[in-house]
């Protein structure tokens, strides 16, 4: 064919008709529609020393696109944000920015600007509690021991007015018929007194904590005293005045015959060698054969170290024991001087009535008897010496 013989007008008309037909069919089968979306608003580029105290959480957008595009469009495909890089304390109004996927158009927005309230950023450190789900239950025949959290404290940052509303900081544990130890990394929840979440206002670091709940088969338990183990001696001139374990008792688990053999549990050793001041230390409990102690419970021991002092108590009264009513007893002296030594605080408060000086008359016979004094005290001191140590006692029958 000769190219000069082509009817270009006819060709153009045919092409236009084809395109028009394609557009008509496309629009008929996949028309352009509008749909309303409610989208969360992001706030970006806020200065590190500032926090948002009041804000708009979501905004409504009317978007247009072909039907097949709208059918596959989700909120996560839409990015709505306000740039706070120039925000300062107080109210700040910023432009609403909307990023949309290709082939999607913004028909209208609920608003084009958003006002937020900016406050100074504050931080606090708080401990995290464990709450058990209302449906929480263990498998039959199992029991849960004390839980542990790592870390047990978190840093909370946000506007001061929102931090002041904090009532609970916790993770939720659901043991869900567990038959073995429960371990999980759980998100930290922050709520006000009404149970409302504050996480949209407050940042938590770390956002998750590790929780361990030991789950063991149920066995008999027993509560026994905690016996503190000390290693070494205080510095010269100092003494241990008092030892306080908190708590003072522990719960142990085991077979009944094993529990019967245990009257107390020992702690790990506390080194007091050369100490001249009080020592406070966290300790662990040591296992006894056949018995399990709860290692997740925290035990703390205070060892009170004081200067050593001494004092002589005068006129400590001497008394007789095991006397015979048929005899008269005459003591060479009715009082003695007793020297005591111990912690300065105890020595300051001890007096002659805190010491008991006794003679046992059970073996006395007629005439002169010489006896050795038996001394004891109800105070936290040691008896160093007594003068005189031996006392003469005259024994004679009573007149009938």
What would the pLDDT profile of 306-360 be if each residue is shown by its tens digit? 999 999 999 999 999 999 999 999 999 999 999 999 999 899 999 999 999 999 9
The angle formed by the CA atoms of residues 326, 328 and 329, to the nearest 5 degrees, is 130
pLDDT averaged over every residue in the chain = 87
Residues 113 and 40 in one domain: yes
Of 250, 279, 307, which residue is a domain's last?
307
Residues 62 and 78 in one domain: yes
Count structural domains, the chain: 4
Q: Burial, 248: exposed, middle or buried (Cβ in 10 Å; 0-12, 13-18, 19+)?
A: exposed
Could you tell me if residue 3 is inside a domain?
Answer: no
Residue 236: what pLDDT? 93
> pTM to 2 decimals?
0.44
| Helix (H) or strand (E) segment spanning residue 20 | helix 8-29
Residue 301: what pLDDT? 95
Cα–Cα nearest to 243, from 234, 235, 253: 234
The CATH number covering residue 59 comes to 2.170.120.30
Instruction: Please give the residue range of the domain that contains residue 377.
Output: 309-397
Residue 275: what pLDDT? 93
pLDDT, average across residues 133-155? 81
Could you tell me if residue 347 is inside a domain?
Answer: yes
Tens digits of per-residue pLDDT, 22-67? Answer: 555 555 556 788 899 999 999 999 988 888 888 888 999 999 998 8
Among the ranges given (16-20, 57-61, 172-176), the one the predictor scored with the smallest mean pLDDT? 16-20
Of 213, 240, 261, which residue is a domain's last?
213
pLDDT, average across residues 117-122? 88
Residue 103: what pLDDT? 87
Residue 176: what pLDDT? 78
Could you tell me if residue 330 is inside a domain?
Answer: yes
The CATH number covering residue 196 comes to 2.170.120.40
Could you tell me if residue 12 is inside a domain?
Answer: no
- pLDDT-based confidence at residue 277 (cuts at 50, 70, 90): very high
Of 100, 121, 142, which residue is a domain's last?
121
Residues 301 and 330 in one domain: no
Could you tell me if residue 61 is inside a domain?
Answer: yes
């Amino acid at each position: 064919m000769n190219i000069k013989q082509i009817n270009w007008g006819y060709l153009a008309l045919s092409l236009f008709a084809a395109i028009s037909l394609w557009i008509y069919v496309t629009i008929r089968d996949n028309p352009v529609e509008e749909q309303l979306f409610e989208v969360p608003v992001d706030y970006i580029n806020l200065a590190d020393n500032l926090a948002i105290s009041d804000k708009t959480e979501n905004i409504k957008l009317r978007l247009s696109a072909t039907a097949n595009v709208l059918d596959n469009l989700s909120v996560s495909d839409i990015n709505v944000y306000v740039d706070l890089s120039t925000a300062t304390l107080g109210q700040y109004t910023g432009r609403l920015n909307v990023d949309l996927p290709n082939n999607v158009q913004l028909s209208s927005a609920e608003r084009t600007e958003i006002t937020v309230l900016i406050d100074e950023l504050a931080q606090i450190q708080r401990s995290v509690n464990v709450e058990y789900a209302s449906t929480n239950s263990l498998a039959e025949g199992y029991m849960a021991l004390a839980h542990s959290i790592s870390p047990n404290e978190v840093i909370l940052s946000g506007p001061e007015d929102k931090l002041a509303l904090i009532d609970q900081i916790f993770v939720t544990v659901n043991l869900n018929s567990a038959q073995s130890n429960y371990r999980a990394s759980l998100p930290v929840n922050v709520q006000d007194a009404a149970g409302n979440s504050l996480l949209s206002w407050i940042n938590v670091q770390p956002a998750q904590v590790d929780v361990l709940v030991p789950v063991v088969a149920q066995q008999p338990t027993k509560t026994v005293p905690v016996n503190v183990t000390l290693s070494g001696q205080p510095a010269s001139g100092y003494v241990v005045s008092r030892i306080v374990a908190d708590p003072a008792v522990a719960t142990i688990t085991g077979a009944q015959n094993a529990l019967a053999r245990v009257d107390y549990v020992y702690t790990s050793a506390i080194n007091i060698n050369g100490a001249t001041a009080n020592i406070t230390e966290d300790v662990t409990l040591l296992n006894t054969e056949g018995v399990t102690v709860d290692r997740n419970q925290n035990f703390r021991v205070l060892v009170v170290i004081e200067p050593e002092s001494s004092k002589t108590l005068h006129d400590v009264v001497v008394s007789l024991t095991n006397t015979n009513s048929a005899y008269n007893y005459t003591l060479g002296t009715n009082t003695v001087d007793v020297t005591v030594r111990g912690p300065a605080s105890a020595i300051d408060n001890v007096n002659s009535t805190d010491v008991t000086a006794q003679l046992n008359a059970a073996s006395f016979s007629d005439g002169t008897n010489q006896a050795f004094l038996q001394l004891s005290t109800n105070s936290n001191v040691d008896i160093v010496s007594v003068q005189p140590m031996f006392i003469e006692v005259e024994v004679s029958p009573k007149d009938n």
